[in-house]
Amino acid sequence: MPHRTAAAALVTTAALLTATGCSSSFGSDQKTAQDSAGKQHLNVLIASSGDAETKAVREAATAWAKQSGNTVTVDVAKDINQQLAQSFAGHKPPDAFYVNSDQFANYAKAGSLYPYGDQIKDTDDFAAQLRNSFTYDGKLMCLPKDTSTLALAINTELWKKAGLTAADYPTTWAQLKSVAAKLTKGGVTGLVVNGEYARLGVFMKEAGGWITDKDQTKMTADSKQNIEALTYVRSLLKSGSMKYATQVDTNWGGEALGKGKAAMTIEGNWLAGGMQADYPKVKYTVVPLPAGPAGKGTLAFSQCWGVAKDSAHHKAAVDLIEHLPTRAQQVKNAAAFGVMPSRTSALAEYAAKNPAAKAWVDAGAYAQGPVTVAGFDKVLAQFNTDLAALGSTDPAKILADLQRNGEQALTKGD
C-alpha cells in the first residue's frame, strides 16, 4: 500500500533532491504553449496500491476519454516521488499525476504544479483539512483524491485466546499498555507498528503535542507533551510488549497482524484491502486509538491529483481530474480498493456501506494532517531514522534534533 513504506519513500526522495540541487530546481519560469487541438492525448502517472486501484483508475480515465474524444495513457510508477522529480527536472512531466502530501510543498514552491483549484466549482465538498494540505500561498493547487486515517486493528482470534472481550478494547494509554502485555507471549507481540512518525505521531497528538504549530511557521517538537509521548512508546518497546514491524521480520503492521505475529497494530484503512488480498481468512476488528493525556488523536494521509505546469494540456487535464474524483467514482474506488472518499458527501455513503470502517471514518473529525513545508521531507526522513532507535535513545534528544532540523527547514523553506 502507498503508506506502508513512507520512510523509504522519504529517504529516496531526499537523496534525489540532494543530487539535483534542491526542490526549487524543478520549476521553470517559461510558459508552455497550450495545445488547442480538438483531440488531445494525456499521460497520467499514479502510484498504485495494486491491480484493483490500477484497474479502477484506468477504467475511469477510459470512460472520460470516450466522453471527451481525447485519449489517455495511465502508467503505474515504481517510485512516484523519484520519477516525478526526474520528470520535473527534465521538464517532461506527465500531464496529471498523484502528488504525495510529503512532497506537495516541494513541487508547489518549485512552480512545478499548475494551480487549478479555483476552476473547480464544488471544492467545498472536499474536507477542509484535506484542502488545507494541498493549499500553497493561499491557492488550492490540486484536489485530494481520497483520504486515510489511523486506528487500532486487533487480531480477533489472538484477542479471544488471551481471555479478552470487547469490554477490554483499550480506550486509554494505561489500558493499551496492560492489554499489550497480556497479549505478548510465545511468538506473539501485543502491539507491532512501523517505526516511523507516520505511526508513532499519533501518540504525540494524544499527548497534546505535534511537530509544528497550526500554521506550520514554528517548530513545537521539543515540548514536554512530545517527550511524554515518546517516553510512553519507549516504555512499551523496552517492555517487549511492542515491537517494530522489522523486529518481527515483517514489512508493515498489516503483515504482522495477518501472520499472527502481532495481536494489535496501528494502521490506516488501506489495511482492509491488504488483509483481503493477503490474509482473507484472518479475522480482525478495528477500534479507535486509545486516548492519551490530551484526548483522542490520529493522523490523516492523502494524495492529490496534480497537473504539471509544464503540461501542454492544462484544460484537458483539469477536465479529466474533475471526472476522476466525482462522488460516484470515489464510492466505486472505495469498494474496489479500500480508500476512503475525500468528498464529505461520498464519505457519508461510504460509512453507511462499510460499518466495519467506522473507527477510521470517525477519526477524520480529529485527525492531524501532515507537515507540508518545502524541504521538510528531509527533516522527517531523519526523524524516522532516529525513531528507529527509540528503544535505546533518550526521547528528549530525538526531539531536540527534530526541533533543530525543523527550524532550519522552516527558515530556508527549501
What residues are paired with 301 via a beta bridge?
A: 148
Using DSSP's 3-state secondary structure scheme, residue 111 falls into coil
Residue pLDDT, tens place only, 359-403: 999 999 999 999 999 999 999 999 999 999 999 999 999 999 999
| The pLDDT of residue 52 | 84
Report yes or no: 283 and 274 within 8 Å, Cβ to Cβ.
Answer: no
**What is the C-alpha separation between 137 and 140, in angstroms, rounded?**
9
Report yes or no: 145 and 2 within 8 Å, Cβ to Cβ.
Answer: no
What is this structure's pTM? Answer: 0.87
| The pLDDT of residue 127 | 87
* 47, 66, 72, 250, 329 from 57: Cα distances, Å: 11, 14, 11, 29, 9
Report yes or no: 266 and 202 within 8 Å, Cβ to Cβ.
Answer: yes
**What is the C-alpha separation between 43 and 93, in angstroms, rounded?**
9
| The pLDDT of residue 339 | 85
**What is the C-alpha separation between 1 and 405, in angstroms, rounded?**
29
Q: DSSP per residue over 129-141, as a string?
A: HHHHHTEETTEE-
Question: What distance separates the 2 farthest-apart alpha carbons in the chain?
Answer: 68
Phi-psi sector, 373: left (phi>0), alpha (psi -120 to 50), beta: beta
Report yes or no: 337 and 328 within 8 Å, Cβ to Cβ.
Answer: no
| The pLDDT of residue 30 | 67
Cα 343–345–346 angle (5° rounding)?
A: 65
Residue ranges, the chain, pLDDT below 50: 1-26, 414
Phi-psi sector, 149: left (phi>0), alpha (psi -120 to 50), beta: beta
Instruction: Calculate the CA 211 to chain-centre distance.
Output: 16
**What is the C-alpha separation between 279 and 259, in angstroms, rounded?**
8
